[in-house]
């Protein structure tokens, strides 16, 4: 991989993703498939040079892709740190694992997202506050945002510029708000507010978009992102069943889990074929 990849070796990232197939926090018990692993690897390549735009129908693995990438980077960082410690070094790979904030841009009005004037006084929006956080100009991330559990919200702004930071936009992409992000998606990474203020993002801060489609986005926006299509066909319904059964409480015996799995495998496939053959609504 180009740039500041883990040791410059894409195999390390792939191994990190494959090692997570039995990791409890990710909730998946299957071996990571080729298509999913390949998309995760491509997401890292895009993360080095630009921002990522994950598109596709629901249950395509859009959220899981960047979470697997984050956990893979963390695994590689821990491995590099352990190797450096064994060799008597200071611990390499620092800042490789990302910290992130997730927000839904369509959950609020456009003024609440970027900011607005009230009685000739500027009021920062949710997006402006989070941009200040990653740029070190605002010490606190809004408590309503979802932050990486490995770090405290108050520490997000205090991280050094070398720390990889992600701003994840989980919601529909439309021209009402995405066009104002073009200057952020450029190499300069500057957010221009209506107040005339310009917020400069650190070099290792990237944006991640999750959307079903990009019909409302302009070519100027799309060309600034690395677009990855997550096909739901690559992740079968069996994975959803396995994940659901795996999250059962511990007091449920293994025999019931096994029986449920057998029943799903026996009846779901013919029922799905029947629905696809007889359904009139697509």
Which residues are paired to 100 by β-bridges?
A: 166
Q: pLDDT at position 149, please?
A: 35
Domains and CATH numbers, the chain: 6-234 (3.40.50.300), 248-278 (no CATH)
CA separation for the pair 170, 105 (Å, rounded): 7
Rounded Cα distance between 46 and 181, Å, is 17
Secondary structure letter of residue 155 according to DSSP: G
CA–CA distances in Å: residue 57 to residues 32, 61, 105, 213: 19, 9, 19, 8
What are the tokens at 243?
């994940």
Task: Dump the DSSP string for 58-103.
Answer: TTS-HHHHHHHHHHHHHHHHHHHHHHHHHTTSS-S-TT-S-EEEEE
CA angle 232, 236, 238 (to 5 degrees): 145
Instruction: State the number of CA atoms in the 13 A half-sphere of 160 facing the CB.
Output: 6
**CA-wise closest residue to 65 among 39, 46, 45:** 39
Q: Show pLDDT as tens, one digit a residue, over the chain (282 residues).
A: 334 444 444 555 555 555 555 444 444 444 456 677 777 777 877 766 678 888 888 888 888 888 888 888 887 777 767 665 555 554 445 557 788 888 888 888 888 888 888 888 888 888 888 777 776 543 333 333 344 433 334 445 556 667 788 888 998 888 888 888 888 888 888 888 888 888 888 878 888 999 988 888 888 888 888 888 888 877 778 878 888 898 899 899 999 999 999 999 899 888 888 888 887 755
Which SS3 state, helix, strand or coil, does residue 253 take?
coil
């Amino acid at each position: 991989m180009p740039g500041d990849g883990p040791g410059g070796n894409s195999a390390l990232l792939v191994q990190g993703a494959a090692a997570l197939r039995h990791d409890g926090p990710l909730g998946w018990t299957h071996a990571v498939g080729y298509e999913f692993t390949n998309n995760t690897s491509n997401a890292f390549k895009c993360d080095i040079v630009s921002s990522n735009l994950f598109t596709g129908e629901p249950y395509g693995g859009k959220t899981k892709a960047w979470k697997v990438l984050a956990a893979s980077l963390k695994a590689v960082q821990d491995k590099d740190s352990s190797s450096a410690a064994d060799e008597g070094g200071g611990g390499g790979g620092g800042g490789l694992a990302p910290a992130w904030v997730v927000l839904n841009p369509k959950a609020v009005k456009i003024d609440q997202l970027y900011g607005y004037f009230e009685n000739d006084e500027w009021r920062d929006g949710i997006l402006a506050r989070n941009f200040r956080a990653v740029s070190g100009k605002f010490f606190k991330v809004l408590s309503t945002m979802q932050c990486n559990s490995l770090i405290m919200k108050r520490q997000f702004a205090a991280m050094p510029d070398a720390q990889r930071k992600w701003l994840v936009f989980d919601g529909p992409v439309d021209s009402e708000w995405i066009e104002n992000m073009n200057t952020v998606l450029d190499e300069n990474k500057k957010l221009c507010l209506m107040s005339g203020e310009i917020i400069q993002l650190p070099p290792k801060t990237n944006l991640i978009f999750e959307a079903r489609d990009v019909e409302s986005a302009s070519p100027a926006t799309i060309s600034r992102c690395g677009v990855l299509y997550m096909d739901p066909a690559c992740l079968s319904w069996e994975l959803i069943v396995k994940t659901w059964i795996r999250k059962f409480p511990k007091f449920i015996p293994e025999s019931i889990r096994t029986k449920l799995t057998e029943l799903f495998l026996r009846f779901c496939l013919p029922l799905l074929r029947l629905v696809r053959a007889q359904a009139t609504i697509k």
